[in-house]
Chains A and B, each alone.
Chain A
């Protein structure tokens, strides 16, 4: 049966779009649109499915695979699955899908049309302005890119000079260090000799002292018996120094005078204990040779290790503040021997001059080397930036090294494009990495609509956190929403002019005429 629409509407069976009207001719046999069979016209829309493709029932729910067309005058025409005809739910804004269900539908097409036009207009405005901004961004980016490119070129030229300078200074340094080394060695040797002389002098004094001590009767001779009073000299360690043993020590003599004692002294001096309580003489300290310009290298290393440990522990603490509160390294005073006689005398003026000259050469060299390193870093950074895919017209360049935040009920989300995404609880707590820059991952026709950040902090029994950033056209660059559609998989909606497409509407975009 044919249901008549409003007078202005062209007569056609219910649910048939205008484009297919010609297949449904009243009172003529109807052939299923797939050609599978032909039926009499009274079986079209008779609420029984005869065609496999559902084409005989465009206006009823009889066919499982049918579709129903609503005209939706004032809004947009659309197709709905025929299972939505008379199901009690208003799907078509012109209410034509619910003609027999008792559902109270109102025609909302006008309202929807108005709203849609408003939205479209708004969108068009945004797109227009956004697209203008985008052009600006592209210009800026191109300029910036050129600047950077030329900066890199300049720097590479400078770097070459710096390279040469470093090499020159290295030679200067090495040249200055050779005489310095020789002079230092000379000085050291002289001091070693001096030390040996001092030691000999000391031994003699000790010997004389021992002689006086041993010579109990002060007769100018040390006798065997006098020696025997020093049991520590016992050779066979039986606790007593026998006469024979004492004599043996004295080279068979009964007594020795000061000069012959000289030959006895070497036999006893190692075991001899002075009767006066006296601290044994300190070992002669080796001088600290200051070859290294850094004072306490070992201490420094351990400090660094500590720092690293701490970083591991407070993984997410702000590193800057962590560095600031770091206690200064505790200065451990080295236990230098301050006995004047042991200290190496200061360098003579000539040597010192050589050292000073060498030190200056070293400083100059290191300074130049540092400058070179810094330049290398700068070049590398710029090259890295230049290597990013900032879009077909570099329109995303401006996002580089920027961060955008959105505060939600519980968290502060932070998106740093081309770098990382993170989440931090609003009321304290450590930051969680939701992913680091991975790649553009939009659909094939425009991969620049989605960004993928992955390898974030791992989830319990789950994957590492990751974030998809969905970019939509907007005048402003702002994070508009965040969500976690699946556990540990985040979604950030982000507006930017950089994805605004050229407005298609000619009346909105006078520039189009240029192409015509």
Chain B
């Protein structure tokens, strides 16, 4: 939940009043920096494209098996940089640039890469005074290093795929000593170690030739009432990338903006800086709660990715030579043939650290996903129950309230898996504890839920109440695990509990200790069906600059400035580790986080933070989760109903209908909103919400299988259409509909009072079946769909097989042994394929003991066959196949089940109006080999 409620923040109330009344239901932009207010961004952005002052010193080239190094020199100040190039397995190139001899080490982000990426040999194809040509393997891909000015080009055949520093925007503010007298005393003795005598003289010429004293914000920067002392001075870095032939770029979440990134000319760049933004605005590049510095570039020929591994405040500029052109203008160019090639230019700017870029060369979308997954890991495979419905509110008042909401679901026959407790459950916001009056018997409450085979999530935030009587605080204090302020004392800031300390999650020992706090004997009142929610982990500091931590706070020897964007990742990492450990490594964790970074996908789910009960926020939930999916985070959702304000009944129903088809399916509401459990809006609306939650539960086998696939391959679960239709340019800008896996297309209704929508069905020569009516529609068309309040336009791709469990019960656990119905949607060529994945739904045995069933389902030549994709796996299920629906079928005279060498006839029905063939109760076990023959 967001920043502040005055009624709850006694001492802060004056501060809050100002904040709130100036910002009723809209972000107070004044609380957050623009590029102009962030001195390094302003400085870097003032640098315009032109001749780069950097030159490659080819004579310094060193080539080992796995890497090439080369020095660069800035001819303006003679500072030497070290360039490292790696060819990585899986068609990737890594480019690192650091100072050759920095005054002190510059920060390199740890714990994001799952391992040191395996390399492949680089070989020099040719070399002369102008540069070097390197081979990037068999695919006629070459890497060209140009010496003067320095630039890198990646080519495939005659085509340039991507260029670095082609616009001369490489800029590296090297560490140096402060020139004015103020810095002289403690700088004096270090002077000796500075490389090159010239450096001192050349400092002033750095970047734009101005001296330190004349420029604001180099050694100190003030925003609002907060001063950022900068003992290291200016340290920012920047590099430009040009993408010839590219008009569409995506990614770099988190922003409340369209899926296709916009050009930033004339406005602010997209900002990546994890912030607790109160009542965020839509369609702008302001930073939000999480940051993933990964951008995807796509055209009909190729998909590529750029991963900028840097955890400091980062800004991304995008410009395009076609941005200003109208469709007509583009056509004219085409007709006249006079057009220059479209090109997108990107520029990354970070406040500190080094340049460490991974260029993922695709060429297919799925290649980029697996390339990125090979670097930072895949989506963690969640417990099956966490794909069910989550009921949350700030706050369920007490145990009685929890019980009555739980009963409400049964009374109204609505399934759910998790009920959530927000900050009020803890004793005075002391996480890991329970309010002694409202939640005095947590185990009794959890047992009550367990008896219904349901689960609970309780919030654990990373701000720790400063209170000597609080075990967590006193242990962190005694172990000296708190983040320090610039003077070396414990950093303290205001958050929900009042004055709070912030554990230093960058310390591995701190994370191990934090994890140990989730042990059943440490976390009193916890049970195996209690899971965790990490909120406010940007970190949120109510009285800090931009509502976050001071950049000059210290994590050991590193400033917060260096690690800011990865703090939230560490919190979730340590929490997930705690949940794994409490079960002796047997059970899968479930942890939701608000802040995230590249790699966060390995630790659980994310949600889009504190949205509002507005139609615009419902609509934006689609591109926000699509963008996250593209960069690894599949387990994404938005607060259903909207966190702030009260939704209209129509909006709430539409939001359930949308959320049921998004990966993380949770309703949540602010403390000051009226209650909105699904049955509080009259019987008709209760029925609508019940229906869509049931649709979700029926599809759980499909969702689960997709998450298994995401875990294995990095393929996003919820994806933009272009991922599966990469050559269809119409799909490139669509973000009001999406695919779940490859086989379900969803076009949620996100307009008030909508009476119809136009959905684009992709795929020339393909067909799509309406999942509710089984009506068949052709691909590559805009389909107008009249809608009522009960309509949720969802289509199954012809050519796919989706297993469902149509017997919906109280919770996903109750459905464990239920039979499957296979929905076989035939392609025009009477073909279909799908997969079925089954395991115990909650343990790591699928991984450690290969206890799972993975089957391929194929319909071809009038036979539906189940074959084993994992012959050495072992798992037994009592689930069986109760029904097979074949959409687009013709009527057979006979259907026979072939199994274990025996043939048995199967009853069937045929609906000729919709061409649906229903096979009645074939009855085979879901893990068996079998064939159903239509004769």
Contact = CB atoms under 8 A, between A and B. Distances in A.
Interface of A: 46-48, 61-62, 64, 81, 83-84, 87-89, 101, 409, 459-463, 483-489
A362 B723 CA distance: 98
A488 B807 CA distance: 40
Contact of B452 (A89, A462, A463, A483): A89
Q: Binding site of B, secondary structure by majority: helix, strand, loop or mixed?
A: loop
Interface string B785-823: 000000000000000000000111110011111110000
21 contacts: A46-B921, A47-B819, A47-B921, A48-B883, A48-B920, A48-B921, A61-B807, A61-B809, A64-B806, A64-B808, A83-B807, A83-B809, A83-B810, A87-B809, A89-B814, A101-B817, A460-B672, A485-B397, A486-B675, A487-B674, A489-B674
A483 B24 CA distance: 28
B427 interface: no
Nearest to B438: A409
B860 interface: no
Contacts of A489: 674
Given A46-B921, A101-B817, A460-B672, 11 more contacts: A64-B807, A83-B808, A87-B453, A88-B814, A89-B451, A89-B814, A461-B20, A462-B672, A485-B397, A486-B674, A489-B674
A133 B413 CA distance: 41
Interface string B918-935: 001100000000000000
Nearest to B814: A87
B810 A87 contact: yes
Contacts of A485: 397, 401, 675
Contacts of B815: 87
A88 B813 contact: yes
B47 to A, nearest CB: 44
Interface in B659-708: 671-675, 694
Given A89-B452, A483-B397, A47 B882 contact: yes
Nearest to B400: A483
Contacts of A488: 672
B577 to A, nearest CB: 30
B6 A460 contact: yes
Best-buried of B816, B920, B921 by chain A (most CB within 10 Å) = B921
Given A48-B882, A460-B7, A487-B672, A62 B397 contact: no
Contacts of B810: 83-84, 87, 89
A431 to B, nearest CB: 16
A487 B5 CA distance: 13
Contacts of B5: 460
Given A48-B920, A485-B675, A486-B675, A88 B882 contact: no
B557 interface: no
Interface string B379-421: 0000000000000000001001100000000000100000000
A235 B808 CA distance: 116
Nearest to B437: A409
Nearest to A86: B817
Contacts, number: 68
Nearest to B883: A48
A84 B921 CA distance: 21
Interface string B444-463: 00000001110000000000
Task: Rank and list the top 7 A-B pairs by shortest CB-CB distance, nearest first.
Answer: A87-B814, A486-B675, A48-B921, A462-B672, A409-B437, A83-B809, A486-B674
A47 B882 CA distance: 9
Nearest to A459: B672
Most chain A CB inside 10 Å of its own CB: which residue of B413, B809, B810, B813: B809
A461 B453 CA distance: 37
Interface of B: 5-7, 20, 24, 397, 400-401, 413, 437, 451-453, 671-675, 694, 806-810, 813-819, 882-883, 920-921
A61 B453 contact: no
Contacts of A61: 807, 809, 818
Contacts of B920: 48
A84 B675 contact: no
Nearest to B810: A87
Contacts of B397: 483-485
Contacts of A84: 809-810
A46 B883 CA distance: 13
A488 B675 CA distance: 11
Nearest to A101: B817
Nearest to A83: B809
A409 B920 CA distance: 60
A144 to B, nearest CB: 39
A84 B410 CA distance: 10
A483 B395 CA distance: 13
Given A83-B413, A460-B7, A487 B809 contact: no
Nearest to B880: A47
Nearest to B815: A87
B453 A89 contact: yes
A54 to B, nearest CB: 11
A487 B673 contact: yes
A62 B413 CA distance: 16
B895 to A, nearest CB: 15
Given A64-B808, A409-B437, A487 B882 contact: no
Contact of A487 (B401, B671, B816, B819): B671
B452 A461 contact: no
Contact of B807 (A62, A483, A486): A62
A489 B673 CA distance: 10
Contacts of B451: 89
A64 B804 CA distance: 14
A48 B674 CA distance: 42
B453 A88 contact: yes
B663 to A, nearest CB: 24
Nearest to A65: B413
B817 to A, nearest CB: 8
A136 to B, nearest CB: 34
Contacts of B401: 483, 485
Contacts of A463: 674
Nearest to A408: B437
Contacts of B673: 486-487
A125 B437 CA distance: 33
A78 to B, nearest CB: 13
Nearest to A50: B920
A84 B810 CA distance: 8
A486 B122 CA distance: 65
Contacts of B675: 485-486
A485 B817 CA distance: 37
Contacts of A101: 817
Contacts of B814: 83, 87-89
Q: In the complex, which of the residues A47, A64, A89, A459 has the most CB atoms of chain B within 10 Å of its own CB atom?
A: A89
A485 B395 CA distance: 10
Nearest to B673: A487
A441 to B, nearest CB: 17
A306 B810 CA distance: 64
Nearest to A81: B413
B142 to A, nearest CB: 60
B672 A461 contact: yes
B417 to A, nearest CB: 13
Contacts of B437: 409
A50 to B, nearest CB: 8
Contacts of B882: 47-48, 62
A294 B19 CA distance: 53
Contacts of A46: 921
Contacts of A89: 451-453, 810, 814
A89 B400 CA distance: 21
Nearest to A484: B397
Contacts of A486: 673-675
Contacts of B24: 461
A460 B9 CA distance: 13
Contacts of A484: 397
A491 to B, nearest CB: 11
Nearest to B7: A460
A238 B921 CA distance: 132
Contacts of A64: 694, 806-808
